[in-house]
Structure 1
Amino acid sequence: MTAQWDTVTIVGVGLIGGSAGLALAKRGAAKKIIGVGRSDSSLEAAKELGAISEGTTNIREGVANADFVLVATRVSVIGNQLEEIDTCVRPGTPITDAGSTKQSIVDRWEQSRSSRKGRFVGSHPLAGSHKRGPQAADPALFEDKLTVLTPVESTPQSDTQSISAFWQLIGAQVCHLSPSEHDRLLASASHAPHIVAAALAAATPREAHRFTAGGWRDTTRIAAGDPDLWADILLDNAKAVTAQIENFSQVSDQLQHAIEEGDRPTLIKLLTLAKESRDALGS
């Protein structure tokens, strides 16, 4: 493949950023991939894996000559990083992020859109793992996975197209949602499920651990994710997450009541509804 960009800069070289770097390198899509990280050790690890060609801990230096910038860091810092990046990039540089929430990030950018140098469109690749760091990076992470773009009314179509092309080039499928719709739907599909998994893991007594098998381990896998990262996500999307927790609690209460009352028909009805919902997704 002919290189699409001379220089792509990836801010944050962990699982998502590292995987994007590996996918770009595998396809020869960028002549140079610059990684920006907090530590020399993580940058060196990413370089040894081939996810980046060079690294720096200075975000301003890292983005100054970039033709495309991906910010793959925690949602709690993306807003500040976008502000700093925008002061350093060349006018017209496409910028996107990989944050799991979108409303607060996009709103902050849009407040000063008219004076921006960069061309930002929010993104959220629905791919990941409870593992972290560049060592967990996978060049196939995004292949056939959905990436949500969150353009707003003032976003030029050409900006959305350039960000879409980036994700499609590394194998992702792309769809568009408003930032608010993204956060509402992802509260149900991703954020609240983490709460459920964490609650089950925390509520299971240690003496039962030796008896856990596939069901418990499958259900609680995501509870092994980074607590700091997940606290950022849940607090940033608090309203939508708490609404979904309330929905879950209502169904949980119905199940509990049916069990306590020995109400087999209602219990079967609720379990059947759950099975049909899960079966609709396929394997």
Structure 2
Amino acid sequence: MLDLIETRIAIIGLGLMGGSLAMGLQGKCSGIYGADTDPKALDLAHQSGIFDGLSEHPAEILANTGLVVLAAPVGAILKLLEDLPDLHSGSPVVLDLGSTKRQISAAMALLPPRFDPLGGHPMTGKEKSGLDNASAGLFRGAPFAFTPLPRTTIQARHLAGQICEAVGARPLWLEPDRHDRWTAATSHLPYLVASALALATPVEAAPLVGPGFRSTTRVAASSPEVMVDIVRSNADHILAALGRFRDEIDRMEQALKNGEWQALAGQLSQAAASQKDLTYEHGEGGRQ
């Protein structure tokens, strides 16, 4: 079985995720090759000294690579999966880093049998994207979700485990639908709520903004283009999460209107306990 240290890796997409993975795997594989259509990203990648080969065209860096990492937005990953059989003549493990998994897993299932596909999603990130914000420690302590297909081999699982060990992440194996349902609540809804709070707060209140508001709205500074690409691919689960959120807001509003302070205190106590269960038990290294 091929180990990570023996594997040539191609990373398509040299933004925050792809760049951070490359930094974390430097010296832990037999070579790292990168592709990106953005000249700025390629220039930064050249300057980093991490890559053994770089190109604007994926086909030029894929030869003899045993692991292909698709580190692009969900829509771009779907297009890359469609094109991959014409770009790579070998039998690599194919790992994506997309933020939702159902559409990508379905597209992976259509790859020719010579490919060994595995869905992936590191549950970490920053509100600022791009290779200039990448860091080798981005994945440290964070959950790295993997969504295997029925055809995913032991070899792919083995490399996934070694990648996690190399970058300090915690592997989590689950089905694509469960992944998308959970991330709708833990990642996509928090972004929409943070955005709504930022929009609902008058700019005149800026002098009174403190750390609580900053931490609550931090993710609202994320790239709108990237986030729309994500939420579009998971709208059904996000709508369900929004419904649950709206129910809780309605309870709070009703208690405020009716002066039901004991009921409100009970709801807030439940919220404090839930927050502890959600963050403390499983660690706080993942995406907030």
Q: Same fold (TM over 0.5)?
A: yes
Report if aligned partners of 2:143, 2:169 keep a CA contact under 8 Å in 1.
yes
Q: Pick from 117, 126, 131: which aligns with 2:123?
A: 126
For 2:128, give the aligned amino acid: K
Supply the distance in 2 between the matched residues of 1:52 and 1:206 (Cα, whole angstroms): 44
Query: Following TM superposition, by how much is the alpha carbon of 1:47 offset from its aligned partner in structure 2, in angstroms?
Result: 2.6
- Structure 1 residues 66-114: Cα deviation after superposition (integer angstroms, max 9, x where no partner): 121111100111011122223322432111010010000001221x24x
3-state SS of the aligned residue for 1:150? Answer: strand
Q: How does 1:147-162 map to 2 (within 5 A)?
A: 147-162=144-159
The aligned counterpart of 2:87 is 88
CA separation in 1, counterparts of 2:165 and 2:95? 14
Residue 218 of structure 2 aligns with which residue? 221
In 1, Cα distance between equivalents of 2:72 and 2:236: 22
Deviates more, 1:61-70 or 1:157-166: 157-166
Q: CA deviation at 1:143?
A: 1.5
Report the residue type matching 2:105 in the other structure.
V
The answer (yes or no) to whether the contact 1:98–1:125 under 8 Å persists in 2 is yes
User: What is the CA–CA distance in structure 2 between the aligned matches of 1:51 and 1:234, rounded to whole Å?
Assistant: 32
Please give the secondary structure, in 2, of the residue aligned with 1:64. coil
Equivalences for residues 107-256 of structure 1 within 5 A: 107-110=106-109, 112-113=110-111, 115-256=112-253
Q: Is the 8 A contact 2:81 2:107 kept in 1?
A: no
Determine if contact 1:90/1:118 at 8 Å carries over to the other structure: no
Structure 1 segments (4+ residues) deviating >4 Å: none
SS at match of 1:242: helix
Residues of 1 paired with 2:93 and 2:118: CA distance? 8
Q: Is the 8 A contact 2:42 2:55 kept in 1?
A: yes
Aligned partners of 1:46 and 1:135 also within 8 Å:
no
Residue 12 of structure 2 is matched in structure 1 by: 11
Q: Which moved more, 1:58-67 or 1:255-264?
A: 58-67
Local SS of the residue matching 1:65:
coil
Q: How many residues align?
A: 278
- Check the 8 A contact 1:44/1:55 in 2, yes or no: no
TM-score, structure 2 normalization: 0.91
Moved more, 64-73 or 184-193: 64-73
Give, as a single letter, the amino acid of the residue that structure 2 aligns with 1:58.
Answer: H
Match of 2:51 in 1: 52
Shift of 1:40: 2.3
Please state whether the residue corresponding to 2:32 is helix, strand or coil.
strand
What is the TM-score normalised by the length of structure 1? 0.93
Cα pair distance change 1:90/1:167, threshold 3 Å: farther
Q: Are the counterparts in 2 of residues 119 and 159 from structure 1 also a CA contact under 8 Å?
A: yes
Residue equivalent to 1:268: 265
Q: Letter of the aligned partner of 1:207 in structure 2?
A: E
Give the Cα separation in 1 of the matches to 2:7 and 2:191: 39
Cα pair 1:60 1:84 within 8 Å, conserved: no
Aligned equivalents of 1:261, 1:176: Cα separation in 2: 46
Q: Which runs of 5+ in 2 are unaligned?
A: none
> 2: distance between equivalents of 1:70 and 1:158?
15
Residue 21 (str. 1) matches residue 18 (str. 2): no
Conserved in 1, the CA contact under 8 Å of 2:117 and 2:149? no
Identity %: 30
Which ranges of structure 1 fall in alignment gaps of 5 or more residues?
Answer: none
1:208-256 deviation per Cα after TM superposition (whole angstroms, max 9, x unaligned): 1221111110000001001011001111000000000000000001001
| Distance of 1:81 and 1:124 partners within structure 2 | 17
Q: Which amino acid aligns with 2:5?
A: Q
Structure-1 separation of matches of 2:113 and 2:86: 8
RMSD of equivalent CA atoms = 1.7
